[in-house]
Amino acid sequence: MSAPRLTRRRFWTTAAVAGAGVGLYTWRVEPHWVEFVRRDLPVRNLPPALDGRTLAQVSDVHVGPRVDSDYLVAALRHLSALRPDLVALTGDFVSAVGTERVDEAARVLEHLSPPPLGCYAVLGNHDYGERWCHPKVADRLASRLTDIGVHVLRNASRDVSGLTLVGLDDLWGTNFHPEALLRGLDPAAPAVVLCHNPDAVDLNVWGKYQGWVLSGHTHGGQCKSPFLPPPLLPVFNKRYTAGEFDLGDGRRLYINRGLGHLLPVRFNVRPEITLFRLVAA
């Protein structure tokens, strides 16, 4: 029997069905298909007590009208079941004009069980409200996160069992003042920096710091065709998409693809929670 002839009508019908399938996948499937990425995080002079411990990074949850809170809660409960030792939250907790989503964000994050070594956070640009210029929104959010046991680092550092965890406020917000903090770091001390926007790594503010910088912000571009860069990236340095980057001066950058989204579509850029195994470099 001969194969059916591919008519113009059959071609366009097939193309329409395929296009609808891809559209449904990018809208309903991939935005909620979380990938738990496991990788090592080598840290110089890491205290022996932290060798092999797990640092989990969650970024860009974007609690708001476009992200299903039940999806976020399920992802955080899954993370809790994996029992990380330390959790880093790298900004953009809400998508809102003002403070209207702050309490909802706190309710969502309460489903993340407190890890043994603590939960630490930095703020992102969306955490400053409309046009990223409302410090009272950021202050309110930071206060609510503190209420539920999250340590918010706003150009500040904390000692975590011998590891210095440094948190920078957002580059696009109104409180980005990292110079004194970074230049005051002991270059030999084991440290990890949390910084929402990866563009900050290109600024001349880092002093002699050599180590990891954990960021988010880009969502990996959300949609990426094979062999082509993402068409939309909210960074000046278009090199900074997702994953690991060697900055060439002793610093290494890791960009998390984020758990939430701004537009409810993803293609070839699954949402991510990263599970880093701390190891001595």
Mean pLDDT across the stretch 24-35?
83
d(CA 143, CA 154): 12
pTM of the model: 0.91
Strand partners, 273: 36
Q: Which long-range contacts (CB under 8 A, 24 or more apart) does 128-134 make?
A: 128/170, 128/172, 128/173, 128/174, 129/96, 129/97, 129/98, 129/99, 130/97, 130/98, 132/170, 132/172, 132/173, 132/174, 133/174, 134/98
Can you give the residue ranges of every domain in the chain?
Answer: 10-280
In whole angstroms, give the CA distance from residue 42 to residue 37.
16
Distance CA 203, CA 276 (A): 26
pLDDT score at 24: 67
| Per-chain mean pLDDT for the chain | 92
pLDDT for residue 1:
53
For 72-116, how does the pLDDT look when each residue is reduced to its tens digit (9 = 90+)? 999 999 999 999 999 999 999 999 999 999 999 999 999 999 999
- Collapse the DSSP code of 93 into the 3-class scheme (helix H, G, I; strand E, B; otherwise coil) and give the result: coil
* Three-state SS annotation for 140-197: HHHHHHHHCCEEECCCEEEEECCEEEEECCCCCCCCCCCHHHHHCCCCCCCEEEECCC
20-37 mean pLDDT: 79
Give the pLDDT confidence score for residue 93 in this predicted structure. Answer: 98
Neighbours of 180 (CB within 10 A): 10
pLDDT exceeds cutoff 80 at 8: no
pLDDT number for residue 242: 97
Domain covering 10-280, topology: Purple Acid Phosphatase; chain A, domain 2 (3.60.21)
Rounded to 5°, angle at Cα 275 from 270 and 279: 140
The contacts of residue 29 (CB under 8 Å, 6+ apart) are none
H or E element that contains 10 = helix 8-24
pLDDT confidence bin for 17, thresholds 50/70/90? very low
Read off the pLDDT band of 63 (50, 70, 90). Answer: very high
